[in-house]
Structure 1
Amino acid sequence: MENIKINNKIYQNPLFVFALEKEAGTAFSGENVAFVGVGKINATYNLLKAIQKHNPDIIINLGTAGSTKFNKGEVVCCTEFIQRDMDVMALGFQKFETPFSTDAVILEYGIELEGLPKGICGSGDQFEMEHKNPEYNIIEMEAFALAKVSKEENIPFLSLKFISDGADGGAAEDWVEQVKYAASAFKKILFDK
């Protein structure tokens, strides 16, 4: 296991968090890695278990995502997160607002990595293939939950997303083709400085 330097700060016990093993390949062998599964509930539960096991000093979420703003193959840093499938507007709540919570609609938490474009991540429990919401420009299924747990546990959080598709009609086929390139892109950014 290697120390990792992020924005001139050294972390000695990083935890690399992926939804799926496909996103990591073998590039992170020998590191503390957690595969949390797909969706916000799996991500929450499995990240909490991994925190108990590894006691990390930083959580680094690496995964694939769709976007209508960024190009396929680009890596984007996210520090703002929206729970895109939270919809209780029929009861008078704001779009994406969690009822009876004091939390803001946009969860702002995480480290901005120098040199990478910044995105707003919309997490939800469906694979979005027709992106229409202007509030977010990164579409995936776990990062909101991971950022929320990290914030509540007071652990520094870095979220990098490899753009695998355009969140459109070809998203499923594009993801299958692009996911294999994600791990090497992440490794290059994090370790090959």
Structure 2
Amino acid sequence: MSDLALIMALPNESKGLFEQAGIQVHYSGIGKVNAAFKAFEVIQKTGCKTLLNLGSAGSSQFDAHALVEVSTFVQRDMDVSPLGFAVGVTPMDDDHPAEIHLEAYFPHLEKGICGTGDSFETGIPKVPCDFVDMEGYAIAKVCKKLGVRLISVKYITDGANDTAHLDWEENLLLGAQKLLKLYQTVK
């Protein structure tokens, strides 16, 4: 796709494989604020019509080493429940619902709900979701606001449990290899 830009959170997630293959990667850094800023910047600078977000995620629902396409993003750390709002809902944001649904692109991949939050999740999120990341919802919201298509695929590195930090690091190279192979199928 000539109107496609690729965004990932960290160089750790690509292990330099994308750059070695001559593919430009825009790295956002960790967290929702960094991801939102970078997504906006990439869309403005490149004029892309589609933003492809590849990266890692933890899951107790999907097997480690699986590639999963995001069907929906939710915010697992937005909690204004003391004011009467449901967990995951941003108050007074009528233009953008708590769930951001994406159009499927890869028919052969399993689909799931990704819960984004500014924490490395090692337990059960407050908002129902199948796997967790730290950037996706913010990227999805920027794309929705700017009318840019988002495709997002996550490589499951860990079980989002008490060994997640060890499993994440150990599984990044295999994840980068699988994500690169998937990227090379994008038309």
TM surpasses 0.5: yes
Q: Aligned to 1:61, what secondary structure does the other structure show?
A: strand
Equivalent position to 2:80, from 88, 99, 105 = 88
Q: Which amino acid is 1:169 matched to?
A: D
Structure 1 residue 18 and structure 2 residue 18: aligned?
A: no
Runs of 4+ in 1 over 3 A off after TM superposition: none
| Bigger shift: residues 76-85 or 45-54 | 45-54
> What does residue 57 of structure 1 align with?
49
- d(CA) in 2 for partners of 1:184, 1:53: 28
Cα pair distance change 1:110/1:150, threshold 3 Å: farther
Structure 1 residue 113 and structure 2 residue 106: aligned?
A: yes
- Give the Å deviation of 1:170: 0.4
Report the identity percentage: 34
Q: Aligned to 1:99, what secondary structure does the other structure show?
A: coil
- Give the Å deviation of 1:66: 0.2
- d(CA) in 2 for partners of 1:148, 1:32: 23
Contact kept in structure 1, 2:76 and 2:127, CA below 8 Å = no
Unmatched 5+ stretches in structure 1: 1-10
Deviations 1:83-142 (CA, angstroms, capped at 9, x unpaired)? 110000110011211011113221113434210000100000000011254610110100
> What does residue 74 of structure 1 align with?
66
- Give the Å deviation of 1:49: 1.4
Q: Aligned to 1:28, what secondary structure does the other structure show?
A: helix
- d(CA) in 1 for partners of 2:24, 2:148: 15
- d(CA) in 2 for partners of 1:154, 1:79: 17
Aligned positions, number: 183
- d(CA) in 2 for partners of 1:186, 1:175: 15
Question: Structure 1-normalised TM-score?
Answer: 0.89
Equivalent position to 1:126, from 105, 119, 126 = 119
> What does residue 6 of structure 1 align with?
none
Unmatched 5+ stretches in structure 2: none
Q: Aligned to 2:56, what secondary structure does the other structure show?
A: strand
- Give the Å deviation of 1:191: 1.4
Q: Which amino acid is 1:24 matched to?
A: S
> What does residue 33 of structure 1 align with?
25
Structure 1 residue 98 and structure 2 residue 90: aligned?
A: yes
Question: Structure 2-normalised TM-score?
Answer: 0.92
Q: Aligned to 1:181, what secondary structure does the other structure show?
A: helix
Q: Which amino acid is 1:20 matched to?
A: L
- d(CA) in 2 for partners of 1:157, 1:178: 25
Structure 1 residue 180 and structure 2 residue 173: aligned?
A: yes
- d(CA) in 2 for partners of 1:104, 1:192: 31
- d(CA) in 2 for partners of 1:144, 1:158: 12
